[in-house]
Every structure is written in C-alpha cells, then in structure tokens.
C-alpha cells in the first residue's frame, strides 16, 4: 500500500482540531511502528513518525485506533493551562527576576529551584500512566464519531497494543501497557476486573 495514500486517509481519521498541529511523517528507518517526541512548549508542530513497512502489518481498525491514541496523547499535553504547577513556575520565574534585579544570589537560586521543581512535576504529569489512559479514552471517543462502538474501539486498541509489541520484538508488555490493556479489556467486556477510580 502507498504511504501517501495512507497518510491522507489517517488525516481524515484525525480530529479536525489536531490536523493544525499534528503532522504524519514516514520514517522507515525507525524500529518502532509509531513514535512521537514529547511536545515541548516552544514546538508548535507535533510530528508523528510512522514506519509504514511495519504499520501495514496491523489491521485498518488497529491503525486507526493507534493513530487516534497517539494524537490524543500529543494534543493532551498542555503546558500553559492555568493550574497550580503552571502558576508556581510563573511565580518562581518572576521571583528570580526580582531577586536578580536586587543582586540576591540566594533568592535567585531559591526562585529558580522552585520553578525547576514545578516544571519537573508538569513533565511527570504529562508522561504518567494517567495521561496514557486519558489518551486511550479520548481516542475511543473520537473513534465513536468515526463509526466504531466503544466496545469495538477498545478491542481494536487492545489488539493494536499487543500486535505492536510483537512486531517490535518485545518479549512482554511494559507496566503502563499492562495497565492500559487491563482497562481496555474491562471496557470491551473481556474482563470483570477494571482499574480502580482513584
């Protein structure tokens, strides 16, 4: 199958809001089926790299859900939404500027350290298992607008996670993938054990 045709098809599958910032790039040399760099605040574009030789080993519904999950994960990263840690970063930076103007080295170090700690917390929150689970849920919501039922979407995403691990030669799933798979099994009705709400 032609990668350019598949890219056009995948752009149609994507939510309209993601088409502005997300770009699909063919990267045949990568060992992963699909990959994306963590979006930093100063990068407007959020490229998704796909090895199409490996990509076409998946079924069409698996490809759709895998792409929607990756798009949801990338668009779910919000560096500047008004929350506690973003406020702490701003206060720390403001404090560092004020202390710098007063030539207070200790004050600059404390304010800068406060900002660094808050930035590290924002980074961890965006790389957490919860962000992956939220991306799975967002992908399934978009898939329902594309004609899949919630159960079908969960089944296809579950199958895609397991298939990608085999294609990439992993002997087993990592901890986050196991949690995601258990959650998807519960949503698909394949398991009675779901994830606790808290």
From the first residue on, what is the mean pLDDT of each consecutive set of 10 residues in the chain (198 residues)? 87 89 92 88 85 95 95 79 65 76 80 78 73 91 93 94 93 89 89 63
Cα–Cα separations (whole angstroms), residue 165 to 26, 105, 171, 172: 20, 50, 8, 7
Enter the DSSP assignment of 22. Answer: E
State residue 1's pLDDT score.
Answer: 66
State residue 101's pLDDT score.
Answer: 81
State the Cα–Cα distance between residues 185 and 127, nearest whole angstrom. Answer: 22
What lies within 8 Å, CB to CB, of 175 at 6+ separation is 129
State the Cα–Cα distance between residues 57 and 184, nearest whole angstrom. Answer: 21
Kindly provide the residue ranges of all beta strands, DSSP E only, lying in the chain, ordered along the sequence.
Answer: 22-26, 34-35, 46-50
Characterize 1-35 residue by residue with b for buried, 16 or more Cβ atoms within 10 angstroms of its Cβ, and e for exposed: eebeebeeebeebbbeebeeebebeeeeeeeebbe
Q: Is 34 helix (H, G, I), strand (E, B) or coil?
A: strand
State residue 197's pLDDT score.
Answer: 59
State the Cα–Cα distance between residues 64 and 143, nearest whole angstrom. Answer: 8
State the Cα–Cα distance between residues 97 and 92, nearest whole angstrom. Answer: 9
State residue 51's pLDDT score.
Answer: 95
State residue 31's pLDDT score.
Answer: 93
For tokens 């994960």, the residue is: 73
Beta strands 34-35 and 46-50 are antiparallel
> What are the backbone angles phi and psi of residue 80, rounded to the nearest 5°?
-115, 15
State residue 7's pLDDT score.
Answer: 92
State residue 184's pLDDT score.
Answer: 92
Other C-beta atoms closer than 10 Å to the C-beta of 66 total: 24
State residue 79's pLDDT score.
Answer: 60
State residue 41's pLDDT score.
Answer: 72
State the Cα–Cα distance between residues 4 and 24, nearest whole angstrom. Answer: 10
């Amino acid at each position: 199958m032609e990668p350019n045709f598949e890219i056009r098809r995948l752009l149609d599958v994507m939510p309209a809001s993601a088409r502005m910032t997300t770009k699909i790039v063919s990267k045949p040399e990568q060992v992963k089926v699909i990959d994306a760099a963590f979006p930093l605040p100063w990068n407007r574009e959020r490229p998704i790299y796909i090895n199409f030789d490996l990509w076409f080993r998946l079924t069409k519904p698996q490809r759709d859900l895998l792409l929607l999950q990756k798009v949801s994960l990338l668009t779910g990263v919000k560096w500047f939404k008004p929350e506690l840690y973003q406020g702490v970063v701003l206060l720390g930076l403001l404090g560092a500027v004020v202390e710098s103007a007063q030539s207070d080295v200790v004050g600059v170090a404390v304010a800068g350290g406060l900002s660094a700690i808050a930035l590290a917390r924002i980074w961890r929150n965006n790389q957490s298992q919860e962000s992956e689970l939220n991306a799975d849920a967002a992908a399934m919501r978009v898939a329902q607008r594309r004609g899949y039922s919630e159960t079908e979407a969960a089944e296809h995403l579950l199958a895609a996670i397991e298939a990608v691990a085999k294609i990439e030669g992993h002997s087993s799933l990592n901890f986050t993938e196991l949690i995601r798979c258990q959650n998807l099994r519960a949503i698909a009705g394949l398991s009675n054990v779901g994830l606790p709400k808290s």
